[in-house]
Amino acid sequence: MYGDPERDILSSITVGQENSGPIKLYYEDHGTGKPVVLIHGWPLSSASWEKQVLDLLKAGNRVIAYDRRGFGQSSKPTTGYDYDTFAEDLHKLVTELDLRDFGLVGFSMGGGEVARYLGKYGSDRVSQAVFISAVPPFLLKTADNPEGVDAGAFEGIKAGIAADRPAFLSQFLSDFFNVDVFRGKQITDQAVQLNWNIAAAASPTGTLDCVTAFSSTDFRNDLKRIDVPTLVIHGTADRIVPFPVSARRMPEFVKGCKLITIEDAPHGLIWTHASKINPELAHFLS
């Protein structure tokens, strides 16, 4: 596998097996220098990092972006849509590539992988952690998490997916980018369509099961174990992962983390506000 010129065309590693077929994770590995691993949000793929990859490469990083199981060009099994498995998949990838002293960057649902990976495997190989529009500490409202979101909201999402997934994705992406505010300025119809195409190609099972995973997984203990420099970036107008539920609470669990709020920015700020985020990201990772 190593030294194979075909590797860059369609690189993948096998992380498991379902019946007669292997479960493979697709990844791209570009550039040289300090490694940065990018973990995408739901229900997208590594392609959603388009605006960050170019700037991180220019800043002298080696950039590794992969597709979570069920999404993008990775295998689409019907099992394994939980954060212990996601973290194990990530661990297999960074071990296979023998990455050391790397930055770990998670967007939205991907922030859960960052938290669970560091909570489960520690920071021996990791130099920095970044959470962008991320789901930790804990989204679901419970008796000991009164700041969370009511369970009915997530049941509504699952019902929408089950009834008409393509139609649900259209409405979801409208709120993802606050299209009513930014359309024609910081987001085009074509960019929204691109994201819809990516999301529509995902596994229906994975799309549905991941809602349970990102809404009901409690990352508070994982966050308390983080002992590397940590950056948190979040938009104040996030309609998907509300700022008060998520980023505003992060300093309570990750001591010394740096919190950057982007005023009036939507959930999908890695596209709409890339010009503000990318310099902060490159500077922190350097």
Alpha carbon distance 79, 73 (integer Å): 17
Q: Does residue 203 lie in a domain region?
A: yes
Structure tokens at 187: 């987001």
Alpha carbon distance 150, 68 (integer Å): 26
- The full DSSP string for 206-228 is HHHHHHHHHHH---HHHHHT--S
Amino acid of residue 274: A
DSSP state of 104: E
Q: Does residue 5 lie in a domain region?
A: no
**Local confidence band at 113 (pLDDT 50, 70, 90 cut-offs):** very high
What is the domain-level CATH number for residue 20?
A: 3.40.50.1820
What pLDDT was estimated at residue 92? 98
The answer on pLDDT for 9 being more than 80 is no
Q: Does residue 4 lie in a domain region?
A: no
Amino acid of residue 25: L
pLDDT digits (tens, 9 = 90+) for 193-245: 999 999 999 999 999 999 999 999 999 999 999 999 999 999 999 999 999 99
Active-site residue numbers?
Answer: 108, 238, 267
What pLDDT was estimated at residue 74? 98
**Local confidence band at 1 (pLDDT 50, 70, 90 cut-offs):** very low
Alpha carbon distance 71, 145 (integer Å): 30
Alpha carbon distance 274, 33 (integer Å): 22
Backbone conformation region of residue 149, classed left if phi is above 0, alpha if psi is from -120 to 50, else beta:
beta
Laid out side by side, the sheet with 126-132 consists of 11-18, 21-30, 61-66, 34-39, 102-107, 126-132, 230-235, 258-262
Q: Does residue 48 lie in a domain region?
A: yes
Bond into 279 cis (ω within 30): no
Q: Does residue 6 lie in a domain region?
A: no
Q: Does residue 219 lie in a domain region?
A: yes
Q: What percent of the chain has pLDDT over 90?
A: 97
Sequence-ordered strand ranges (E) for the chain: 11-18, 21-30, 34-39, 61-66, 102-107, 126-132, 230-235, 258-262
**Whole-Å CA distances, 135 to 88, 131, 242:** 19, 9, 9
Q: Does residue 187 lie in a domain region?
A: yes
Cβ burial, residue 222 (10 Å; 0-12/13-18/19+): buried
Count structural domains, the chain.
1
What domain range includes position 66? Answer: 11-285
H/E stretch holding 169: helix 151-176
**Local confidence band at 2 (pLDDT 50, 70, 90 cut-offs):** very low
Alpha carbon distance 284, 128 (integer Å): 8
Structure tokens at 200: 């529509």
- Which residues are CB-neighbours of 176 under 8 A, at least 6 positions away? 195, 239, 240, 266, 267, 268
The answer on pLDDT for 4 being more than 80 is no
Angle (nearest 5°) at CA 142 between 138 and 144: 85
